[in-house]
A = this chain, B = another copy of it.
Amino acid sequence: MTSTQSDRPIQSAELDSQSLRVIRAVADGGSITAAANALGYSQPAISQTIGRLEKRLGMAVVVRSARGVRLTEAGEVLARHAATVLRALDAAADELSDLSGLRSGLVRVAAFPSASSTIVPRLLGNMTKEHPGVRFSYVEAEPPEAVQAVRDHAADLALTFSYPGDPDDPHLASTAGLTITPLWREQMLLVLPEAEAPTTSIDFADLAGADWIAGCARCRGHLVKTCSAHGFEPRLGFETDNVPAVMAMVAAGLGIALLPSLAMAGSPLPSGVTTRPPARDDYRTIHLVSAPGASRVPAIAATTTAIRALNVSSWGLETG
């Protein structure tokens, strides 16, 4: 009584968006030739696409008509759902275009404190002016935490610094899978009362008797290391990572300090306080840390490019 139907259910995997595009074009144009012209294909391409689809489905999708072709019920089903599918694909393509064209996207930046008032505002200002659709988040973090944030995918890009030869350099330990690019060398400056400042640079060895005001843990480590390289151990009286406080302490005659040049740019020197470079150049290095693949995310790639393009000479940074 009943016919010998295969009765195999149609899997959605047997439907592809290209076939739906073709069906819709045929429905709109009324003929295979018209669809081919509309889609920019040759006539046999459409004919074969439909033929393959019908073979997969095991039923006719179009039937030849006097002039052109018309859809079967199955074809109508496909044409109806094609509208939904193709609308969604168009929407996705639009959003991807926005990401690709830097009209949308989010970049999560982390950087160390003295960058917060110097590099970061200029960077984000340039970027939002150039690409208003790109959004940024920013968290201030010391290098170890910043690196960890990138590792955890909590941040896309991190600006960090490291002192030469630092054994605790977070970039050395378990930075597996991260890309670390040196950006600039940042000059270290001695901060001291004007009265005690010589006219030119200062030899570290002359400072063996001074009281020192230390900064963050790793900065203090660098200070101790530098002093011991010059044959003495610094007398550390005060500790704070608050730069204006350090300067005020220097102004109050409580000691001298060794600060990176970005700290100067962020906080004006109090009167009576000045800076001098050490006789033997002292610097730390600023790095850009990113997860691999960051270059293949348009907004992040654009941000890294913008970072490299920053004019940083006014802050005492040297490209290197």
Residues of A within 8 A of B (CB): 1-3, 5-18, 21, 54, 57-60, 63-66, 70, 72-74, 77-78, 80-81, 84-86, 88-97, 99-102, 105-106, 126, 130-131, 151, 153, 177, 291-293, 296-299, 301-302, 305-306, 309
Q: How far is the CB of A36 from chain B (nearest CB, A)?
A: 15
Which chain B residues border A57 with CB–CB below 8 Å? 96, 100
* Contact between B292 and A100, CB atoms less than 8 A apart: no
**Contact residue among B73, B93, B99, B292 (Cβ-Cβ distance under 8 Å from A73):** B99
Q: Which of A100, A101, A151 has the most CB of B within 10 A?
A: A100
How many monomers of this chain does the complex have?
2
| Other A-B pairs, 9, CB within 8 Å; known A1-B309, A3-B301, A59-B96 | A10-B97, A16-B17, A59-B100, A65-B153, A72-B293, A73-B105, A77-B99, A80-B92, A81-B95
* Contact between A89 and B85, CB atoms less than 8 A apart: yes
* Contact between A306 and B64, CB atoms less than 8 A apart: no
Q: How far is the CB of A128 from chain B (nearest CB, A)?
A: 12
* Contact between A2 and B293, CB atoms less than 8 A apart: no
CA distance in complex: A130, B1 (Å): 8
CA distance in complex: A299, B5 (Å): 10
Which chain B residues border A18 with CB–CB below 8 Å? 13, 16
